[in-house]
Structure 1
Amino acid sequence: MSLRITLVGLLATLASGLATAPFAGEEHPVLPTWKCTTSGGCVQQNTSIVLDKDSKLAKGAAGSRSAADYAAMGVTTSGNALTLYHYVNSQPASPRVYLLDSDTNKYVLMVLQDNQELSVDVDLSSLPCGENGAFYLSEMAAEGSGSAGAAGGYGYCDAQCQGFCCNEMDILEANSQATAMTPHPCKGNSCDKAGCGYNPYASGQRNFWGPGKTVDTSKVFTVVTQFAASGGKLTSITRKYIQNGRQIGGGGTINNCGAEGGSGGLPGMGQALGRGMVLAMSIWNDAAQQMSWLDAGSNGPCASGQGSPSNIQSQHPDTHVVFSNIRWGDIGSTTKN
């Protein structure tokens, strides 16, 4: 008991010290993005990415401030492309990063409720069964939390109530074998933790997603997520894809998401999008469920055991995801040449 108390006290002291000591001088890798309108086209934004503070602490990098730390923790950028590696030097990194406004050191708030869309080019080709390349939105505060704030990667929240409870819009959770798009609305601490997802495989489209399939995950493609509104309320979320210059429909539409009086439903999700949400990107796997909720059984073609972290680490040590060419704005504006 005394050892546990000592350890708890030590961790509390460390956490307190870190919360009051901003990551001063940390170099945030540049990742340009674009904000678009139908009338004015796309304007490049001065954005960068910041590692979640837990990713830094997990690798013992709290006292280190250089950009080289990002590569050591599985994060690299090149031009408008972000690459996240799950393993670095055979050790798990599993990084999570957020989009940061380089001019203000605050998180970028994407306002997407009123007939807006978000597009991103993705490369999932090296993500096997059990792996998850996640591209999603969280209703975090723009300034983060504590004195370290957004520049230190503080303030995370989601609908699973990690950190604290907040609205979460899973734009893309995917590997090369399966994918899901899932709103998770919250009203206070009442969150739809299961969400109202759309998974093509689970919906009967068994040949839609995968290497050589309609959306060929062995190659790069563009993911477009559109948020349609009417009368100031979000009415639907629709997914489209573009690959080899061809638009691919059938990615799914979500028209409702539970009771508005409970967790807020689709209108509540729309209100969060109207207030602005922070873009998060991560790569992870799941020892408890082996990502079966995403890619096995009725959700995908993966067999039992394929998605175990030990199997992934031994068979796919280079597994990574690439997100690039991130654009948001009016529906129809982000994919114009």
Structure 2
Amino acid sequence: MSFKLSSIGVLAVLLARVQATPLMQATEAYPLLPTWKCTSSGGCVQQNTSVVLDTVAKLASGAASSRTAADYTAMGVDVSGDAVTLYHYVNGAAASPRIYLLGADSKYVEMSLLNGEISVDVDFSALPCGENGAFYLSSMAADGSGGTASGGAGAGAGYCDAQCQGYCCNEMDILEANSMATAMTPHPCKGNTCDKSGCGYNPYASGQKSFFGPGKTVDTSKPFTVLTQFAASGGKLSQITRKYVQNGKQIGGGGTISSCGSEGTTGGLTGMGQALGIGMVLVMSIWNDPAQQMAWLDAGSDGPCTSGEGTPSNIQSQHPDTHVVFSNIRWGDIGSTSKN
């Protein structure tokens, strides 16, 4: 289960304003974030990629209605080398940024990952209960068309997901996590019928209560690499596998997903594979959940967090510097992105 944003009413108002207010793309300065596309035969080749903030976030900050460039730092996005840090709070105010990977052609990068893999180095050490550092894929149009916002990919427009924000589309949650819990969840869609709950794998919920967390098998007090593979058989997605690498050693047992609902209803795992084959857009965000306190991810049978621990007010008062770091993003053939 995943819910990307909770203030739906506020978003509806902002999206209406986006439609009425054209973005000044010419003044946009996209932070460069190099990534690597890999093949088994040729190794990894650096890509000239950058990140663009979601258009709604820019409108909320006032950038979309002004003729000045968006201030990424003020909106919680800090890029240094191949690492991007997303801060939930900036100067005491909620920023909660969502960003997309942009190519040199000013279109979203479409990653074709059927029978492929993606790896990313992550640091979740500053994400407490109730926070979600999300690294996922969406079947957004490369040019940013569709949905309610205008301006194209260069404006951060065109968002869609399986919760039907923007519009309904396939969503592959590679990683939703904080320092206490994690889940990977395919959300296939067939037309406007989406598997909104998804078919997730959460180590804690599967009984691996000592697998993921501070000082555990995957020690979230330190950085580590997340490797996700999308194996195909006969041209169809057959299995999603999670592996971790930390301190130079590969850690198995991260979980596998080999089925996902009804093909006839939502497309199932086959539909998810078709979306991966066509190409999906990389999305990164940080957010919290006033409605459910992220309990579906990290509390009860899904994690060790307690009731009330993950409220936004508690996070802001106790962890005002909460942030997530994603770096060294690589994608390509299975076995091509990691030496471990």
- TM range, normalised to the smaller chain? over 0.9
Deviation at 1:148, TM superposition (A): 1.5
Report the 3-state secondary structure (helix = DSSP H, G, I; strand = E; otherwise coil) of the residue aligned with 2:86: strand
Partner of 1:233: 236
Question: In structure 2, what is the Cα distance between the partners aligned to 1:309 and 1:256?
Answer: 34
Question: In structure 2, what is the Cα distance between the partners aligned to 1:251 and 1:28?
Answer: 34
Partner of 1:245: 248
CA contact (8 A) 2:27 2:67 kept: no
Deviation at 1:21, TM superposition (A): 4.0
- Runs of 5+ unmatched residues, structure 1: 1-9
Deviation at 1:65, TM superposition (A): 3.6
CA contact (8 A) 2:150 2:157 kept: no
Report the 3-state secondary structure (helix = DSSP H, G, I; strand = E; otherwise coil) of the residue aligned with 1:71: coil
Partner of 1:111: 112
CA contact (8 A) 1:238 1:252 kept: yes
Q: How does 1:228-307 map to 2 (within 5 A)?
A: 228-307=231-310
The one-letter code matched in structure 2 to 1:157 is: C
Report the 3-state secondary structure (helix = DSSP H, G, I; strand = E; otherwise coil) of the residue aligned with 2:73: helix
Q: How does 1:1-337 map to 2 (within 5 A)?
A: 14-18=17-21, 20-62=22-64, 63-66=66-69, 69-101=71-103, 103-113=104-114, 115-145=115-145, 148-336=151-339
Question: In structure 1, what is the Cα distance between the partners aligned to 2:24 and 2:257?
Answer: 40
The one-letter code matched in structure 2 to 1:54 is: V
Distance 1:24 1:297, change over 3 A: same
Report the 3-state secondary structure (helix = DSSP H, G, I; strand = E; otherwise coil) of the residue aligned with 1:280: strand
Deviation at 1:295, TM superposition (A): 0.1
CA contact (8 A) 2:24 2:67 kept: no
Distance 1:87 1:268, change over 3 A: same
Give the TM-score taking structure 1 as reference length. Answer: 0.94
Give the TM-score taking structure 2 as reference length. Answer: 0.93
Question: In structure 1, what is the Cα distance between the partners aligned to 2:110 and 2:15?
Answer: 30
Question: In structure 2, what is the Cα distance between the partners aligned to 1:291 and 1:21?
Answer: 33
- Runs of 5+ unmatched residues, structure 2: 1-12
Distance 1:228 1:70, change over 3 A: same
CA contact (8 A) 1:258 1:266 kept: yes
Aligned length: 324
Deviation at 1:60, TM superposition (A): 1.8
Distance 1:171 1:297, change over 3 A: same
Partner of 2:5: none
Partner of 1:3: none
The one-letter code matched in structure 2 to 1:325 is: N
Q: Tell me the alpha carbon deviations over residues 312-331 of structure 1, each in whole angstroms, 9 at most, x when there is no partner.
A: 00000000000000000011
Q: Which has the larger radius of gyration?
A: 1
Deviation at 1:14, TM superposition (A): 3.8
Q: Tell me the alpha carbon deviations over residues 279-323 of structure 1, each in whole angstroms, 9 at most, x when there is no partner.
A: 000000000000000000000000000000000000000000000
Distance 1:151 1:203, change over 3 A: same
Report the 3-state secondary structure (helix = DSSP H, G, I; strand = E; otherwise coil) of the residue aligned with 1:73: coil
Deviation at 1:22, TM superposition (A): 4.3
Question: In structure 1, what is the Cα distance between the partners aligned to 2:131 and 2:194?
Answer: 25
CA contact (8 A) 1:24 1:65 kept: no
The one-letter code matched in structure 2 to 1:318 is: D
Question: In structure 2, what is the Cα distance between the partners aligned to 1:204 and 1:147?
Answer: 45
